[in-house]
Chains A and B, each alone.
Chain A
């Protein structure tokens, strides 16, 4: 277990991202269960846009959890402005591992940080074209977890895994069953060897966040050219 030792002032961090309802929480619960059994102390951060009850599932499993609600803000921007505080909280609590869960609502999101284990969760039911559509969240991940494979055919699983490798050839690709936890053992192998960090200050995102700051970001609700000011992009119909 020597390899799992880290200094007291640092923590292993994992960012887990994926489309809504892809099985992020179930993956984390099953993976954490494996690691708790091995004696790791684990904290969870759940980033959400609007209210969610997922933090209760973590509490039920005996996992300390903090919830961050982005509300009207872009969830990715909210994430990056808060993740360092989360890390410090987790270090203060004396955790060995901090798992941050955030929903990639627009498939453009990518909360992955250079030097931090990046996990992307997608489900087999989302269709074979999904791996091509998801973008940076998938392309920049170190570990891609495929869920809900128990209800699709073997062939579709194989095609799906192939498409994922097309989009991200260097990531590990693991199927995990979110209901039974089958496969979580291998995911746990990745989680517990995630790089440890003392602080994220100065570290960099793997990919830029969606640009923002137009009038609508600031609460504008009226439609029309007079109301759209700032960073606005228009469609080309020519």
Chain B
């Protein structure tokens, strides 16, 4: 049945009668759970059941709980977290996008199958329907969106429960409109994200993300910099590095990063190395040519899928050269220097 939720099997209630220490070791995230409820998890109580029993109703009522509902919540929480932890290891072999219809209701020219480690650009004029395609992928369309497309992980229909519960997050997004809003340092922010992913070796991960982000941004920042005070380019770089290393989603949708002031080609290759499917909506020729294929959208439908030719890859090298030279000019602007150059500046080899 559509929209049916809450059918998760309940965890064994015996968990509540296990030793508290054993349980904390096995499910370390419980510490955070209890501290959110201002409960000291190590008060000398032997079992969670006893710990819960020892709490006053007054204390619990602050959080809208009573003894019974707290017990139930602890069990549900463990069950959900274990499910999350389990899912992290799940991966996708390929993603099928079954053809639907364009804005006039005519069948689109084709669907497309995407593979991890592949970067595909989505091109087309403004208003042509690029966002609808990205949105179809995000909600795992089953012929029920305006486009009538079907999005099938591994070619299979996802069961309604996984789709409607929002548990299966296929897509991570990066767009020009996104900002950091948390009042945290880079380190604390990455720490918090890593904790929510229930992963091991958090300090190592943080260091790697930080290094990658600095590399992409080209202008250094520090682990104790507040994320809200990062420049546009630094923020974007940190978001990309974070998605590459910490996001569980196998698909990354990128919307317009051309103006972000970061090394776009490096950013894309960083995501690719993580065995993700990367989709980029772009008008930038350099970015488009760094992709293996281009999905061409016209009037709401996929009109064509263009493979990047070997000759185009050569052209891309010229473009990269040009891009570097523009970068040099940008650097001169930054330093307050004069910009005097002629045609030769662009035709000469660096």
Q: Which residue numbers of A lie inside 8 Å of B, CB to CB? A: 3, 108, 110, 124-125, 127-128, 132, 135-136, 139-140, 142-143, 150-156, 158-159, 161-163, 165-167, 169-175, 180, 182-183, 185-186, 189-193, 207
Contacts and interface: CB of A to CB of B under 8 A. Distances in A.
B243 interface: yes
Interface in B127-173: 131, 135, 138-139, 144-145, 160, 163-167, 169, 172-173
B6 interface: yes
Chain A CB count within 10 A is highest, among B3, B65, B197, for B3
Interface string B232-249: 000100010011001110
Contacts of B1: 3, 193
B311 interface: no
Contacts of A161: 166, 169
Interface size of B as a range: 35 or more
B246 A155 contact: yes
Given A143-B5, A170-B76, A190-B3, A135 B180 contact: no
B3 A192 contact: yes
Contacts of B166: 161, 172-175, 186
Contacts of A173: 165-167
Interface stretch (B12-20, B95-103, B106-114, B188-196): B188-196
Contact of B196 (A3, A143, A163): A163
B164 to A, nearest CB: 5
A135 B179 contact: no
A128 B175 contact: no
Contact of B178 (A153, A167, A172): A153
A192 to B, nearest CB: 7
Contact of A182 (B63, B80, B138): B138
Contacts of B243: 154-155
A166 B32 contact: yes
Contacts of B36: 132, 166-167
B181 interface: yes
A154 B181 contact: no
A88 to B, nearest CB: 25
B79 A153 contact: no
B164 A186 contact: yes
Interface string B296-314: 0000000000000000000
A191 B131 CA distance: 25
Contacts of A163: 196
Contacts of B235: 153
Given A169-B79, A182-B138, 5 more contacts: A142-B6, A154-B242, A172-B5, A172-B165, A207-B64
A185 B192 contact: no
A201 B34 CA distance: 37
Contacts of A136: 64
B182 interface: yes
Interface in B30-84: 32-33, 36, 63-65, 73, 76-77, 79-81, 84
Nearest to B6: A170
B242 A155 contact: yes
14 contacts: A125-B181, A135-B64, A139-B64, A150-B175, A153-B178, A154-B242, A158-B247, A159-B196, A161-B169, A169-B80, A172-B5, A172-B164, A180-B135, A182-B135
Contact of B197 (A3, A158, A170, A182): A158
B5 A171 contact: yes
